[in-house]
Structure 1
């Protein structure tokens, strides 16, 4: 095996495939990156049984072949390579990397012990890459982090007609984002749902954000768990294993009959929450006092003499006053997930649900909503 590639393309390919390397694994070969060359192409792959990443790059191939090398070591080498072309070769059990007069040698891992890479499922449709990355980022903040409840650590994709719905919940909050999607011809039928690990899906979506379009591959006839979902954008392909189960429905949760509606500037509220939270003890809530009389909201945190407060302009409809309190971290996660300046808050009162969405014109499509539970304890 022998090839020559531009430093930038080689380093980018190694860095992208290294996303699939496990932080630690009892199987040493899973810490390796698989490099394959053939007919002017270099393919770099990583795999940890849950996620596989594969990318192709241009290369001058003097001799075709395959080699498995320590992935993080190769990644570190790529970070310090001098500018210019990179020459790589396999000499027995030693893999060499040379650029600008600097040469590195790497021992290789046994190829026969490396598991077969999963086959990407057939394409089911495509979605705008940047919009998909944004949508996953907006809802992933609501996914749980308790691995004893794996279903709640996932992000659910629902594909129906020409719409994709992305959602996540950890029982205390529920985020939903809808966006357009283009199904393949013949991919009709009923809705298809799949649940994927939030952290892995977020990483994949962000890494493909500049690809223009992301093709999603899946087998809709597969069971809800145990299957694979493929993502492909440009020369990059990734496969993620599904989680068993599905998220609970959110339809009735988002129906807040008789709610008081508040409107406030989202960025200003986020900054006020961040500012007053510096005096809040651990797990201490931030209180929002809305008043229709003076058209304001008072953001307050702390107890006794250790308090902080800030007043902001806000509109209120449906009541003269309403007071709600939230976990400041959860509230900031929600506020930071919105893109537009205006925020609409539907409030039922202390200790009850609150639904956040972007301010939209009457009858306009609301694509992103975030449900939070307010806390009973008031500051």
Structure 2
């Protein structure tokens, strides 16, 4: 194997792989990036066995071949190289010579045959999604999923594609985020229902997709696939039964409160500074024309702030986890939102004031204070 590639092009593709690379070193080959030089392309692959990414870049290939090299070290080397051409040459015993300007490196790799292949998928059957809208939807629900190993189905996001309408749902048992809208550019022949791991969707949000406007989405057996241009993700799905989320969405919350995102965010942040560090509880006291936000901590003190609101309903006191409120406020992407309440024992619902083409609902369980 022998090829030359622009440092900028190589760095861009290596950055796309970094979130997938196995860092625990339980299986050495999973800490490596697979590099294959064929004709005028360099193919790069990384996997942790659950999630895999394949990408490619233009290269001047003198001799076809493949090798695997340490992802971390290769990325660190390329990141610090000057902006110039980088040459790779595979030598005996899996050694690779890397040249760039006045820099010279020799890295030892592992055989290409030890690298696990990614599952194949016929993207002719895939459904095209609007990439920007899909990533926006993901950002509004992903934070509500959990990393708790004991609640495996909640470690992912439920995706339901019905014709051209996509719904994403995430919950950790204390709050639930649900977003839906017409995002598919072609109707699905049948309803697709799958739990996508949070890491997979996190990578879709993190990766620089360049000028891509469309993301192909497909499901086959226990795998989900995403592709745009020369970049492809293949992921295992999350097994198990996702909760019946429709039952959690309140239907009779008749106390409606319109609030400015910026003003309410600042107030909650200030008041929560003296909340219990474990529960992060804040109390909302609602009266005609005003809302008081209150927190207390026996070891630190208490804080309260008054916010003027256009509310004409009855009095109500209800407690929420401040972090859960702030998560929604950071993701809503609007200037105003509506808080839907019923009583101190019923879950509250938060929605953007202007829904547009995307419907976003965020449900939070109340706390006793």
CA distance in 1, matches of 2:307, 2:358: 25
CA distance in 2, matches of 1:118, 1:268: 48
How big is the shift at 1:25? 3.3
CA distance in 2, matches of 1:133, 1:212: 11
Name the counterpart of 2:41. Answer: 41
Secondary structure, aligned partner of 1:19: coil
Structure 1 residues 121 and 312: alpha-carbon distance in aligned structure 2, compared to 1, 3 A threshold: farther
Point out the more displaced range, 325-334 or 41-50. Answer: 325-334
Q: How many residues align?
A: 364
Alignment of 1:201-350 (within 5 A): 201-207=201-207, 210=210, 211-219=212-220, 222=221, 227-282=222-277, 283-292=279-288, 295-303=289-297, 306-317=301-312, 319-350=313-344
1:115-154 CA-partner distances (Å, limit 9, x unpaired)? 2222135342111212211211110111012011110111
Question: Would the aligned equivalents of 1:357 and 1:366 in 2 still touch at CA under 8 Å?
Answer: no
Question: Would the aligned equivalents of 1:140 and 1:155 in 2 still touch at CA under 8 Å?
Answer: yes
Question: Would the aligned equivalents of 2:181 and 2:358 in 1 still touch at CA under 8 Å?
Answer: no
CA distance in 2, matches of 1:366, 1:15: 31
Gaps of 5+ in 1: none
CA distance in 1, matches of 2:268, 2:37: 53
Name the counterpart of 2:6. Answer: 6
CA distance in 2, matches of 1:150, 1:20: 20
Name the counterpart of 2:130. Answer: 128
Gaps of 5+ in 2: none
The alignment's C-alpha RMSD in Å is 1.8
Structure 1 residues 259 and 366: alpha-carbon distance in aligned structure 2, compared to 1, 3 A threshold: farther
CA distance in 2, matches of 1:271, 1:128: 33
CA distance in 1, matches of 2:358, 2:185: 22
CA distance in 1, matches of 2:219, 2:297: 52
Asked if residue 148 in structure 1 is aligned to residue 143 in structure 2, the reply is no
How big is the shift at 1:12? 1.0
How big is the shift at 1:300? 1.6
CA distance in 2, matches of 1:17, 1:126: 23
State TM-score, norm by structure 2: 0.93
Name the counterpart of 1:355. Answer: 349
CA distance in 1, matches of 2:185, 2:194: 15
How big is the shift at 1:58? 0.6
How big is the shift at 1:208? 5.3
CA distance in 2, matches of 1:238, 1:247: 23
